Amino acid sequence: MRTCSLTLLSLSSLLVASAAAADPATTSNVSTGNVSITLHGFLDTTFFWQDQNFVFGNGQNAEFPVPAASGTHNDLSGGDLRNTRLWIDINGGALGGSGWTAGAHIEGDFFGGFNGTGPYSSQQESPRLRQGFITLNDADSGTSWKLGQQWSLLFQTDNTPESYAHIAFPLGFGSGIIGWRFPGAVWSQELNRSGGDLRLDVGAFSGSWNGPGSNVNYDTAGNADFNPQLEARLHVDTGSLLWYVAGHYSHESLGGVGGAAPTPVASSITSYAYEGGARWQSGAWVVHANLYVGKGLGEDFGALAQFGAISEWGGFVQAGYKFTPNWALYGLYATVRPNQGNVVTWVAPKPATTAYLRNQQLGADLLYSEDAWGLGFEWLHAIARTTNDPTGTVTQATVGDQLSVSGIFRF
């Protein structure tokens, strides 16, 4: 009870501060000595209807349909506020006379699950930590560090599809968009100090895998033998065109910590990915696109969140047109294509397991935005192909649709 009370008190304090930040007569900045604190966030509400259950959940985190018998519909509707997000940026000022400055970023939303399983649990969303990292910056050299939980370099925070319903779980996530948040360290170096944005990022992140051992106590294949995830990204932003290339490597010992767990098909897996993408803007037009190929990417939401030495490729493209200063229309196509033979080898033989062979996702978004306020209408259409056959010869396709209306207020 004491822990619950402290959590509620903390959230109440943040929401009071948020309300103050939304009032033009107040400010969201707080200074104390050499430290300044800035509160940001948004409140996002979605009302939805859908005709199937979805993975990774229904409402704002729906991505691809759960298999259902041909012609079967599972109609449901609801309201979802879990995208709602709060974050604090802290500027700690200069570190002595070195030219370096220190800061921090902490961010949370409400996708931590629901408070229990009772009849009122779905109206009591639990908060979760999204990111929490320390920053070190040297403006003179263009060098910076991030230390703590943050997005891996495979995930492009500045090139995700436009949507007011799918924010924490973007359109295409796990179906053309990969990457996740891990504790780690990222070194960044600006390469063009004379103008433009040309940056090299290199990161090492905590290992991650779905078993064996405890997934909540650093005791999995991803944590065995100190094998971090290693990634690098080259990022270029000219204003009208942003593009990037990224790479990923990790090695997982499937015997787990201590090597005592029985291994499945192989005793270890080497995970890799090559990725490239771009965002282009010209007048009223905007295009987002991303493409990757890789293997063993379950830890980074690849292979439809299935774990194993599964080769795959995936990507998405979204094109939009702003036909008034406030209204814009976007169309999206995203897909992921795991190697079917690899999926059958690593996933299908498991008892009572549904193996996902591929997914296609189409989306249409009509968005209105004016200052801090936004309104969105979205249609999400997904087609997932699955199998419960250990040989993978018998497959089925499940089609799922979701219609939603969302409102967002940013501060």
Q: What is the pLDDT, as a whole number, of residue 194?
A: 65
For tokens 């996740």, what's the residue? 180
Bridge pairing between strands 128-138 and 85-94? unpaired
Quote the mean pLDDT of the chain: 91
Q: Is 320 within 8 Å of 162 (Cβ atoms)? A: yes
> Does the global pTM surpass 0.85?
yes
Q: What is the pLDDT, as a whole number, of residue 117?
A: 87
Q: What angle do CA 112, 113, 116 make, to 5 degrees?
A: 135
Instruction: Tell me the three state secondary structure of residue 62.
Output: coil
Residue from 144, 344, 148, 317 nearest 235 by CA:
144
One-character DSSP codes across 224-267: TTS--EEEEEEEEE-SSEEEEEEEEEEEEETT-TTS-SPPSS-S
Task: Provide the sign of the torsion angle of the four alpha carbons 136, 139, 144, 149, taken in this order.
Answer: positive
> What is the band of 407 on the pLDDT scale with cuts at 50, 70, 90?
very high
CA–CA distance, 313 with 317 (Å, rounded to integer):
14
For tokens 């004491």, what's the residue? 2
State the average pLDDT over residues 224-243. Answer: 95
**Position 352 pLDDT exceeds 80:** no
The residue ranking higher by pLDDT, 34 or 169, is 169
305, β-bridge pairs = none
Distance of CA 114 to the CA centre of its chain: 19
Q: What is the pLDDT, as a whole number, of residue 98?
A: 82
Residue from 86, 116, 92, 121 nearest 104 by CA:
92
State the average pLDDT over residues 89-93. Answer: 91
Residue from 58, 308, 273 nearest 177 by CA:
273
Q: Domain 2-410 carries which CATH code?
A: 2.40.160.10
State the average pLDDT over residues 130-135. Answer: 98
